[in-house]
Amino acid sequence: MKICLIGNNLTSLVLACILSKKKFHTEIYSLKSSKPNFKTRSLGITGHNLKYLASFYKNISKKTNSISEIKVLIKNNKINEKILFKKNSKPLLNMIKYEKIISFFRSKAQSNKYISFKYLKKNSDFILLTNQKKFQLIINCESSNILTEKFLKKKIYKNYHNKAFTTIINHTKVINNKAVQIFTEYGPIAFLPLSNKSTSVVFSFEIKKKEKISENEILNLIKKFNPSYKILSHEKVESFNLKLKLPKKYYYKNVLFFGDSIHSIHPLAGQGFNMTIRDIIKFNEILDQKINLGLSIDNSIYKEFEKKSKSYNSIFSFGIDFIYEFFKYNKNFVPKNISEKIFSFINKNQKLKELGIKFANQGNLNY
Give the CATH number of the domain where residue 285 resides. Answer: 3.50.50.60
Biggest alpha carbon distance in the chain?
Answer: 65
Helices (H), the chain: 10-20, 47-54, 98-110, 125-129, 146-151, 215-225, 272-292, 301-332, 336-348, 350-362
Which pLDDT belongs to residue 277? 95
pTM for the full model? Answer: 0.87
- Angle (deg, nearest 10), helices 47-54 and 350-362: 30
In a domain, 227, yes or no: yes
Which pLDDT belongs to residue 365? 44
Q: Which domain holds residue 68?
A: 2-362
Which pLDDT belongs to residue 133? 87
Cα separation, 74 vs 183, whole angstroms: 5
* Contact present, 299 and 274 (Cβ < 8 Å): no
Domains contained in the chain, number: 1
* Amino acid residing at 244: L
CA distance to 10, 360, 363, per residue, from 270 (Å): 16, 9, 13
For the chain, which ranges sit under pLDDT 70?
A: 33-37, 76-89, 209-211, 269, 329-367
Cα separation, 26 vs 92, whole angstroms: 33
Helix or strand holding residue 176 (H, E):
none
The HSE-up count of residue 279 (CA atoms within 13 Å, CB side) is: 28
* Contact present, 43 and 101 (Cβ < 8 Å): yes
* Contact present, 232 and 170 (Cβ < 8 Å): yes
The HSE-up count of residue 349 (CA atoms within 13 Å, CB side) is: 11
Which pLDDT belongs to residue 329? 62
Helix or strand holding residue 240 (H, E):
strand 238-247
In a domain, 367, yes or no: no
Cα separation, 288 vs 301, whole angstroms: 12
For 117-151, the pLDDT digits (tens) are 999 989 999 999 998 889 999 999 998 899 998 99
Buried b or exposed e, range 67-93, using 16+ CB within 10 angstroms: bbbbbbbbbbebbebebebebeeebbb
In a domain, 174, yes or no: yes
* Angle, CA 210 vertex, CA 204 and CA 215 arms, to 5°: 60
* Contact present, 275 and 313 (Cβ < 8 Å): yes
Which pLDDT belongs to residue 69? 87
> Three-state DSSP class for 121?
coil
In a domain, 17, yes or no: yes
